[in-house]
Structure 1
Amino acid sequence: MQSKQFDEVVVEVKHVSKHYKIAGREDSVKALNDIHLAGDSELLPIRRGEFVMLRGPSGGGKTSLLNLLGTIDRATEGVIELFSNPINVDSTDEYLAKLRLEKIGFVFQTFNLLATMSAFENVELPMIILGKLNEKERKKRAIELLTLVGLQDRLDHLPSELSGGEQQRVTIARALSNAPEILLLDEPTGDLDTKNTVEVMDLLLDLNLKLKTTCIMVTHNPDIECYADRILYIADGVFEKQVFNTEQTRLDYDEYIAYLNSQAGH
């Protein structure tokens, strides 16, 4: 696989902390503590087209960080810069909502598809909300995206008529509907079996390489680290280390199953 060239910085995290107040407790819970991903640190900022994985124990701060990057939550201290624009206390809800709609795609472990809408309608909806495309353009793009994720023959199916792997593909197509610059993924394979895990990861790698979409993904699964350019390990609200892969590689399903079976015997 060709080595990628990274230049433009799309995410910088400058001395960010996140504390939560819990009812009945004096002290606050520190979810993140002085997280720093910037040009002046050993832990580099995230660049356009990079595939970054966040790994670490439950409660370590992975999802808290992802929520801050997606502007779903706000930092207690520090600044997050997306596309060179700081997100801080002055950022209005309207501005952040527009930013999410136009530039950030979300994929969660639970598929969060609208149950009464077909695959096609689920993918079309963010385009309707954004309002940039007319009906004909929206239809064309929704079909293209569902084709891209291998579901061109499932356009009219409701989520309940799709398998878990197919639902996650619809979710990925929906996340891409407004051509986001960043895709945020929180345990996207967490509810999938091994076959669908490999298929969804292969799909995400294809999207990362073809569309140059920046991917930031939280996962508990160490076996899929091979798909990333870089893995950041986070525990107790701080970064412990970063590891770079010299190249992104795919899991071979048959070899992977054989490996899993051999581990099960131990």
Structure 2
Amino acid sequence: MAGELVESEDGTVGIALNLESDNVGAVLTGDGLSIQEGGSVRATGKIAQIPVSNLFLGRVVNALAQPIDGKGQIPASEFRLIESPAPGIISRRYVYEPLQTGLIAIDSMIPIGRGQRELIIGDRQTGKTAVATDTILNQKGQNVICIYVAIGQKASSVAQVVDTFQERGAMEYTIVVSETANSPATLQYLAPYTGAAIAEYFMYREQHALIIYEDLSKQAQAYRQMSLLLRRPPGRSLSGRCFLSTFSTFREGC
């Protein structure tokens, strides 16, 4: 079935995306350097899922929720599907409580409510990252769990953001999900879904969660690479400018 995990002889795991009458197209979650033509691949009968727990707070993980900060493994209390169905409209509350960003221009002119989504858009070097990180820093003492998802960023840039969080004491309530520019396109594509799944874990425990995606255009580029490799027909869904309509699934979940 689509979205099912498959495993090759060398243990490399992939995700089946294309189901044809005579073949199955899958993307790998590893480098796949040891996979040989003609090798066998078996279906696992499982859908992609990640471990989650409160112990993820203060840690840096990859798109598979595996720690990459050198602080050891993270015990999991449960597992969540990477792509969970979004709750229906009836079960949602009205947006009635503001999310204080700590930035006067935003809080006074265009306030953001808890449960709302907001796009930060602008040219290079215009302070988009500063707005996002300052918002996380200003959640200290606000009982808000923050998830910072870095997609296709330079490793040095992510390390600088993590250092800032640590210096300001923000890692106590923050989880960083990172897939750098050197990561496979599959993992860059999955990173926002992982961030959303972690946020949903806290959301369903009556805790507020804030997710920062930086940036979704890199995910759109990764999705385009995957689609071309899978020989999907090019079209509007592969355009980097149309990622807002293409990748609505994980944003609607929270």
- TM-score clears 0.5: no
Which fold has the larger relative contact order, with Cα–Cα distance below 8 Å and residues 6 or more apart in sequence? 1
Q: TM-score range by the shorter chain?
A: 0.3 to 0.5
- Normalising by structure 2, what TM-score? 0.34
- Normalising by structure 1, what TM-score? 0.33
